[in-house]
Structure 1
């Protein structure tokens, strides 16, 4: 049985916190791979000045390129529209019935997991893995395996603001992602 981690999100932009979280879960749970799955249109957050789905996909692909056990999962981008984890994981488990899926979420998502669309049915499809994040409680009544990881107080929101303010982002995001953002002029980058 193949063990596959799924890390969904906006990745707007992807940063070292995402990479560290995925890498820690990969090794602690001895997963075969972790797939990064950017949302097409996230149900929880969207702003008109954000990077497009294709730009977020491209940035994430650049961010994970150096780790052969990190892969891209294009399902939600290909489907388009608003992404709900239940619908996505139902489709993925149907296509790969011989795989165990581990849905990786940060502490902020753990706190609101009980509000997710069809959460009880989703719990039948995947194992939830949580990684603590600063500013969250990381508590839920739902079954979730917690994996310890180095705590980095960094968010995509903060990075977008740093680009808008022309402040330094060195070591906070992969260099190739920073270069892409500057070339595309995303987030007001100069």
Structure 2
């Protein structure tokens, strides 16, 4: 499956192989992206703008530790949807390091790979405000905070507090989620404008999310 992704998905130059400018400020957005939606794009754009970052790397996970693999859609579909979602933004890139590495995708391993390959860059790991409370359960989180700057996206209902050093970014509240999109599609509803047009056309072409619940956010 990994070789198939490598052959069929056309992406911008990958961070692990591309020559980057010295001392870039790079945001990292990881996730299942099942599917990617406007909420993901809004967060990335606000973080990049408010923190003055050079780019945002979207990194789909291969096998997230919290997902039932029997119900998760094919990684090729998730990668293609991310590629389509960010295609028009010159500062958004697609990173395939977790897909190529295979196995369970742990954030620590990905950040270790990035910071080792490009120690001249400063990385900003973007996480939703609802995920901050789960940081103590992350694999090697104490090592993660030494490698990158954590960026928390503040949303209504979640406090700006954590024992970890977090840089907070404010943005308007949005209730759109991958879960809501999947459930709406399963019931024959419309998700137009909640996902980019190219993503929606891919979902329709492939008949994705038409049956039982698939994957997580």
TM-score, with length taken from structure 2:
0.83
Structure-1 separation of matches of 2:96 and 2:34:
16
Which of the numbers 64, 84, 91 marks the counterpart of 1:42?
Answer: 64
* Secondary structure, counterpart of 1:8 in structure 2: strand
Structure 2 partner of 1:114: 136
Query: Structure 1 residue 128 and structure 2 residue 150: aligned?
Result: yes
Structure 2 partner of 1:146: 168
What's the CA shift for 1:49? Answer: 3.0
Matches within 5 A, 1:26-175: 26-133=48-155, 136-137=158-159, 139-175=161-197
The total of aligned residue pairs comes to 189
Structure-2 separation of matches of 1:44 and 1:61:
23
* Structure 1 residue runs of 4 or more that deviate by more than 6 Å after TM superposition: none
Superposed CA deviations along residues 9-37 of structure 1, whole A, max 9, x for unmatched, are 01000000000000000000000000000
Q: Bigger radius of gyration, 1 or 2?
A: 2
Structure 2 partner of 1:10: 32
Alpha carbons 2:155, 2:170 under 8 Å: kept: no
Structure-1 separation of matches of 2:168 and 2:156:
15
| Structure 2 unaligned regions, length at least 5 | 1-22, 212-217
Structure-2 separation of matches of 1:133 and 1:7:
17
Structure-2 separation of matches of 1:176 and 1:165:
21
Structure-2 separation of matches of 1:151 and 1:181:
26
What's the CA shift for 1:139? Answer: 3.6
Structure-1 separation of matches of 2:85 and 2:60:
12
CA RMSD of aligned residues (A): 1.4
What's the CA shift for 1:151? Answer: 1.2
| Structure 1 unaligned regions, length at least 5 | none
TM-score, with length taken from structure 1:
0.95
Structure 1 partner of 2:198: 176
Structure-2 separation of matches of 1:135 and 1:117:
26
Alpha carbons 1:134, 1:152 under 8 Å: kept: no
What's the CA shift for 1:45? Answer: 2.3
Alpha carbons 2:63, 2:69 under 8 Å: kept: no
1:47 to 1:136, Cα distance in 2 relative to 1, 3 A: farther
